[in-house]
Amino acid sequence: MPHDSNAHDTNELLDCIKICAECSTLCARTAQHCLRLGGPHATAEHQAVLQDCKQACAAAVGFMARGSHYSNTYCRVCAEVCRECADDCDRIANGDPLMNQCAQTCRACAESCERMAGAGV
């Protein structure tokens, strides 16, 4: 059976849209959680990284979903912001399950977006 590269590309695109949407939602939840935790979790810097990640992921979803020729640019930026968010969450998580989940999801999103950016979505 011949390999259908369009189906493969479509699946990768849909997977990336899905993980970006999940990451955006999780960053929003984590931001609220961190405000309740207080201390280093509630600093302006950490909150800004979470909000930037939430917005970058949401923007990437929109650009990919409509097949914009800017998708690869947004995916590249999204990957960069997701990696920063993951590192920041890891830095102050101190075993917190939601923050660990956020860091893990951000890394998965970054990897997916890097693949999409490299593919020139």
Report the number of distinct structural domains present in the chain. Answer: 1
In the structure, what pLDDT confidence band is assigned to residue 93 with cuts at 50, 70 and 90? Answer: very high
Q: Which residue range(s) make up the domain with 17?
A: 5-119
The pLDDT tens digits for 42-90 are 999 999 999 999 999 999 999 999 999 999 999 999 999 999 999 999 9
Among 29, 48, 9, 21, residue whose Cα is nearest residue 109: 21
pTM for the full model? 0.90
**H-helix segments, the chain:** 5-37, 44-65, 71-93, 97-119
As a whole number of angstroms, the distance between CA 118 and CA 121 comes to 8
Residue in the block written with tokens 């970058």: 56
What CATH number is given to the structural domain containing 83? 1.20.1270.360
